[in-house]
Amino acid sequence: MSRIVYVNGSYKPYHNAAVHVEDRGFQFADGVYEVIAIIDGRLVDEEGHLVRLERNLDELRIDHPMSRAALRVVFAETIRRNRVRHGSLYVQITRGAARREFPFPEAIRPTLVAIARSLDWAKVAANAAKGVAAITAPDLRWARCDIKSVGLLPAALAKQAAKEAGAYEAWLVDEAGLVTEGSSSNAWIVTRDGVLVTRQLDRAILSGITRSAILALAAAEGLRVEQRGFTPEEAFAAREAFVSSTTSFVMPITSLDGRPIGNGAPGLLAGKLRLLYEAYAGSQAAGSLPSAPYLAP
């Protein structure tokens, strides 16, 4: 558990860290967040996450709490104070605290919170080696899923349904019968012809930072890629499937709704992309590689 939390200009003990009872993030889900991987004490794709964070603040017309350079200092200090070598940094910015009224209050100061936690990347790798299960669920989220909003109740309900089914993730299916993304990840399949398929960027999915890096790695390897929607039936007929996210990297999906994907084991392409991404993430955290380009819808 985190020992020190950054809250609005101060580093506070975890159990004493708090925000105002009328913070709009608490009352209206009026805020955005980012989760950034930490490897060897350094952030992976920090630039891409900062660009996306600023873009999402602008989309919701929330003032930036500080400059990008100042945010980098806060991030680094939060990691240092918590002595996190491998893990993740959670950052949340809300519009701030004010009397509860629906219109945006004037002259309000944004709330900024940062939490660094250690994660067992070996456990994540063990899951990837054996593969994980997924289920499908209706996509009940709002129409601006391209914004990484803290309004996550539909995603939480889908993730809980997956947990109760003994699955790792839920793939969300829209009214047209197409998979949008996972409850906390981007969704991918590999067709029988070896084509890598993931949904195109639009307002129905989040432009994942890990997703962007995988696309860049796939292009460098000369892999065939299609950015389009796909149905659960296409997934059942696929050679392999996987999800991508900050804390799962590339995670093979070996069954969907209780039915095996491919031969029911992690696929070769997912394994290759995971190895490529692990090398990229390690080098990027060390500063020897630039961030993958952030792509907005």
Output phi, psi for 87, to 5 deg.
170, -140
Distance set, CA 233 to CA 143, 227, 258 (Å)? 24, 17, 13
Alpha-helical runs (H) found in the chain: 24-28, 46-60, 68-82, 121-130, 153-164, 209-220, 232-236, 268-285
Beta bridge partners of 196: 190, 225
The angle at the Cα of 204, spanning 259 to 61, to the nearest 5 degrees, equals 145
Q: In this structure, what is the dihedral angle of CA atoms 148, 154, 158, 164, given to the nearest 10 degrees?
A: 120
Concatenated DSSP letters of 215-257: HHHHHHTT--EEES-B-HHHHHTSSEEEEEETTTEEEEEEEET
Instruction: Give yes or no: 148 in active site.
Output: yes
Look at strands 87-94 and 31-39 and give their pairing.
antiparallel
Q: Which of 12, 123, 130, 148 is catalytic?
A: 148
The amino acid sitting at 81 is R
Q: Residue 264 is encoded by which pair of tokens?
A: 């029911």
260 and 202 Cβ atoms separated by less than 8 Å: no
CB atoms within 10 A of CB 226: 13
Residues assigned a catalytic role = 148
